[in-house]
Amino acid sequence: MIFTIQRLIEDYFGKRNLDDSDLYAVRLANQLASNHGTESPDQLQVRLARVRTNFYKRNSSIERAPFIRALVKLLDRKFTGKNSGFESQVFFTKQRLAAQRKRLKGKRRSILEILEFFRDSTEARNIDVFWESRKKLQLRQRAEKIGQSMLSQFIQGVLTNRGGRLFREIYSGVGFVDIAVMFGNVPHLIELKVLKSQFEGPAQLERYMKNEKREEGWLLIFDARSHSRKTSLPQKMKRAAGTIKIVVVDLNPAPPSSLKD
């Protein structure tokens, strides 16, 4: 799955303390997934070398060509070997997005429905992307950025050939809106938060709503709390600037074996 590739690359960068502020890992993951299994490592290296980025300017201590060679070797070992299961995972993702686009066809586009699709898909297939150890409640580094990248990729897939535009890290006042989705001239502001203990996000999103003159905003919560500390969250909140609607992705559900009839 593309998110698995992205996680591997981000971990590779993180272990070397490299600055990836222009989301180079996301672009590399997209390139690898776009033609998996049809290129030799040398051909893949040439294609990756064409990816436009400021990554090497921000990390001037590394040289592009040998760095890409090392990265391609890593990716080739992980994802082009036999029994990796990668092909079937990518196929599943494409089939799921196709089904979602079909379901949305002919209907008025709804940001709520898109976010609910994302929630359901994440809870069904991608929970482990966020965890070093779910048993020990150890999240991966930059878990919120992982969620932002996953949601961006998901929305782009759903909106393919259907109009609409997606923006990330939009400057607003002295902060940045995580994601904005445009249907025509209407922006839908989305703020993402990983919930480990204290519920946060409404005040920050409300400020963005005021700045952008929007009376509605969306707060996507990745709930990573332990089972014993979970409490229900509201589906919407009334604030001075307008209404904040909340969608919760459960990153730490109870095991099915623990459920009682």
Give domain limits for the chain: 2-84, 88-258
pLDDT in tens, the chain (261 residues): 456 677 778 888 888 888 888 788 888 877 776 654 556 667 777 888 888 888 999 898 899 989 988 887 776 666 554 434 343 344 344 455 555 555 555 455 689 989 998 999 888 888 888 999 988 999 998 899 899 988 988 888 777 666 778 888 888 888 899 999 988 778 899 999 999 988 999 999 999 999 999 999 999 999 999 988 888 999 999 999 999 999 999 999 887 766 565
Residue 102, φ and ψ in degrees, nearest 5: -65, -40
Q: 114: Cβ–Cβ under 8 A, 6 or more apart, which residues? A: 154, 155, 158, 181
Indicate the pTM of the whole model.
Answer: 0.62
> Is 156 exposed, middle or buried (CB count within 10 Å of its CB: 0-12, 13-18, 19+)?
middle
In the chain, how long is the greatest CA-to-CA distance? 59
